[in-house]
Structure 1
Amino acid sequence: MIKELELLQSEIFNNCDELLKIGTKKINIIPDFNFENHIELKDKDRGCRIYPYHLSEIPKYEFEWDDCPLFKISSNDVKRQVEIIKSWILSRSMPSEIQIQFPEIELNKLAKYYENGNGIKGEFIESWNDTQETHFNPIKYPSDKEAIKLINEMREKGLNESLRIGTRLSWLILSRTRRHIINDNTPHIGIFFLGNNRMKIYSSNLNDENNEQEVDVNYGVHLEKLLKELLKEDIK
């Protein structure tokens, strides 16, 4: 796999000496523990990860802004991909501009937020959209109506713009993290829906004397207090 990466890397640079401008220290072959070793090209907050042939014979190019993927392309046309890399990393084209230059590009939902200077806010908002659309099905599971009711109440308070939401096992998790990684040292709030309009709430690493409590499903005093504490945490 490393040999294939080196061959692809050589092919990329043979098609564009300009890429050397971003410095050899910023162009690396990254070994992944899941056996998807990849090439990483990065300059400041713009980057491209290239995965050669692990899951497909066609290389996959993943383009990032501040480590957040905004579009992906699978292609054997190295020259074409080099032009996209030049436009994205060296010329720092905006997502809408690069989509016009290369019509095959399909931007994801976060691209518009990054272009408008609201990348982190967009990551938070889309985490709420994805969680509500992916993890809850009130038609199939009537008890999910309680979860969606609470999510909508929190959305009305604008919390979807400043907190990440997701799930871990059967718990709804709220945090100030930009990515999905949560551990015991990460300040967060967990909510478990018990049915019959009841839910259990716990907090981790927040200034709260009673870190677990059972309450009705609503945006009540206890939850509001915990969320205000969580909002004091820095975004990480």
Structure 2
Amino acid sequence: MKNKSNKKNRIEDDFIESWNLIEKFYQEYPDDSRPFTNDALRLIKEMRSCNLDKKLRAGQSLWFFLLSRNRWHGLDKEPHIRITFLGKNKMDIKSNFDEEEISKESEVNYSGYFKKMIDKLLEQEIILNEYEDDDLDAFFASIDND
């Protein structure tokens, strides 16, 4: 039981660290050069106050704020939400579940359609898209046998 709790804590720590990095990413740009910065930071703060930073991975890809249940960065076809901040308190939300992408524009806040998409994302299993410490010995042993 302790091992399972440890793994959960490590995943939670990884998620929190991803939110720390995304917050720092947006803080590094002055609002006059990227008008969406204040909207992004306000939404991040609101979502973190709901403890979503312990349940979702946050990331970015050029202009997008990405949310997923992946432990590590990188997306293939996994469910995720991609947000583009448009400025003037507007954002474009693209949700991708079962390889179907749906786009909707919304005000920048954690409510309504956006909250429904987050709830749907939270129903997804956490994806361990990286070797766990326990798996490393088996992984390296398999390389040695080749």
Cα pair distance change 1:117/1:164, threshold 3 Å: closer
Residue in structure 1 matching 2:74, options 181, 184, 188: 181
Specify the alignment match of 2:112 in structure 1. 221
* Superposition pairs of residues 120-159 of structure 1, within 5 angstroms: 120-133=11-24, 135-137=25-27, 140-142=30-32, 143=35, 144-159=37-52
| Offset at residue 139 of structure 1 (A) | 6.4
- For 2:114, the aligned partner's letter is L
Between the aligned partners of 1:220 and 1:228, the Cα distance in structure 2 is: 11
| Offset at residue 141 of structure 1 (A) | 2.3
Cα pair distance change 1:145/1:211, threshold 3 Å: same
Between the aligned partners of 1:136 and 1:197, the Cα distance in structure 2 is: 15
Specify the alignment match of 2:124 in structure 1. 233
Specify the alignment match of 1:170 in structure 2. 63
Q: TM-score, normalised by structure 2?
A: 0.75
Between the aligned partners of 2:40 and 2:74, the Cα distance in structure 1 is: 22
Task: Provide the identity percentage.
Answer: 36
| Offset at residue 177 of structure 1 (A) | 0.2
Between the aligned partners of 1:206 and 1:230, the Cα distance in structure 2 is: 11
Which consecutive aligned stretches of 4+ in structure 1 deviate over 4 angstroms post-superposition? none
* Superposition pairs of residues 1-236 of structure 1, within 5 angstroms: 118-133=9-24, 135-137=25-27, 140-142=30-32, 143=35, 144-183=37-76, 185-205=77-97, 211-236=102-127
SS for the counterpart of 1:177 is coil
Between the aligned partners of 1:189 and 1:230, the Cα distance in structure 2 is: 8
Post-superposition Cα deviations, 1:92-118, rounded to whole Å, max 9, x if no partner, equal xxxxxxxxxxxxxxxxxxxxxx6x961
| Offset at residue 207 of structure 1 (A) | 9.8
Cα pair distance change 1:225/1:139, threshold 3 Å: same
| Offset at residue 200 of structure 1 (A) | 0.2
Cα pair distance change 1:117/1:197, threshold 3 Å: closer
SS for the counterpart of 1:219 is coil
Between the aligned partners of 1:206 and 1:125, the Cα distance in structure 2 is: 26
Q: Flag structure 1 segments of 5+ consecutive residues without an equivalent.
A: 1-113
Higher RCO (C-alpha 8 Å, min separation 6)? 2
Q: Would the aligned equivalents of 1:188 and 1:206 in 2 still touch at CA under 8 Å?
A: no
Root mean square deviation of aligned Cα? 2.3
Question: In terms of Rg, which structure is larger?
Answer: 1
Cα pair distance change 1:168/1:138, threshold 3 Å: closer
Q: Flag structure 2 segments of 5+ consecutive residues without an equivalent.
A: 1-5, 128-146
- For 2:109, the aligned partner's letter is N
